[in-house]
């Protein structure tokens, strides 16, 4: 009658098929478990009656194979979760094409006499002053936007600049307008009590394309270059 040495326990079998074998890692959890149980039954049937397998040892061996099975299932589940997350992120990024976004920066593009910028406030402010400069660094417009709660928000500049009114052929006066082009702006904010509030400028751009890289998605904002998807503070 064939025998199986009690020293060659299921723990050794586990080591061979689950713990140390490089090929077993490629096998499914169910196949590993079936092989383990088959060998364990053979061990129990042929064990030395005078030196039977200890219950604690048996429990430990079963726990080990359960761990292997659990890890196989966990890895499979995590792979599915990552795959679904990746697909959702891809769809979300693709949906950004054609939309306006606010990202860190101090540039403002004036198109057809209108410019859009953004501000990120660390806390609520009672006064927010925006200063806009042209490409030469000359201040062309400054205005207090009033109070606003903390967070990110956009504002629109109608292109009006400081200076004397423009008189048309019929004698009507209109405020001077800034020509289309690229401008820069800065912001200063204070609380209702007069204390300084941290404020950052945000530039508004339109997403022309989405580029996928090793570190995630990058948004192509045309004139403003490419920025990480994670830099988006607000979708307009």
What is the per-residue pLDDT across 54-75, written as a single tens digit (0 to 9) for each? Answer: 556 655 665 665 565 565 665 6
Query: Backbone phi, then psi, for 72, in 5-degree steps?
Result: -60, -45
What is the predicted pLDDT for the residue at 32?
64
Q: Which residues contact 198 (CB under 8 A, 6 or more apart)?
A: 121, 122, 123, 189
CATH code, 100-235? 2.60.40.4070
* Cα distance between residue 34 and residue 40, in whole Å: 10
What is the predicted pLDDT for the residue at 75?
64
- Residue ranges of the alpha helices (H) in the chain? 10-14, 29-45, 55-94
What residues pair up with 174 in beta bridges, in sequence order? 166
* Cα distance between residue 111 and residue 102, in whole Å: 17
DSSP 214: T
Average pLDDT, rounded, for the chain: 78
- Which residue, 89, 57, 120, is CA-closest to 228? 89
Query: Backbone phi, then psi, for 51, in 5-degree steps?
Result: -140, 65
Domain boundaries, the chain: 10-94, 100-235
What is the predicted pLDDT for the residue at 17?
38
* Cα distance between residue 86 and residue 125, in whole Å: 39
What is the per-residue pLDDT across 92-126, written as a single tens digit (0 to 9) for each? Answer: 777 889 999 999 999 999 999 999 999 999 999 99
Which H/E stretch holds residue 167?
A: strand 166-167
């Amino acid at each position: 009658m064939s025998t199986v040495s009690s020293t060659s326990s299921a723990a050794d079998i586990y080591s061979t098929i689950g713990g140390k074998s490089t090929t077993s890692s490629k096998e499914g959890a169910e196949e590993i478990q079936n092989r383990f149980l088959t060998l364990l039954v053979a061990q129990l049937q042929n064990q030395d009656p005078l030196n039977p397998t200890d219950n604690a040892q048996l429990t430990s061996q079963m726990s080990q194979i359960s761990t292997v099975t659990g890890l196989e299932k966990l890895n499979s589940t995590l792979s599915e979760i990552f795959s679904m997350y990746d697909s959702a992120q891809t769809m979300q990024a693709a949906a950004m094409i054609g939309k306006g976004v606010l990202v860190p920066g101090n540039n403002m593009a004036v198109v057809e006499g209108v410019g859009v910028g953004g501000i990120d406030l660390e806390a609520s402010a009672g006064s927010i002053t925006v200063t806009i400069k042209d490409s030469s660094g000359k201040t062309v417009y400054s205005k207090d936007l009033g109070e606003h709660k903390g967070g990110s928000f956009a504002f629109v500049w109608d292109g009006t600049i400081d200076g004397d009114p423009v008189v048309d052929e019929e004698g009507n006066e209109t405020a001077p307008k800034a020509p289309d082009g690229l401008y820069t702006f800065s912001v200063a904010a204070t609380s209702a009590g007069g204390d300084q509030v941290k404020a950052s400028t945000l530039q508004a751009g339109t997403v022309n394309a989405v580029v996928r890289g090793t570190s995630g998605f990058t948004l192509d904002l045309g004139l403003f270059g490419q920025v990480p998807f994670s830099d988006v503070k607000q979708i307009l």
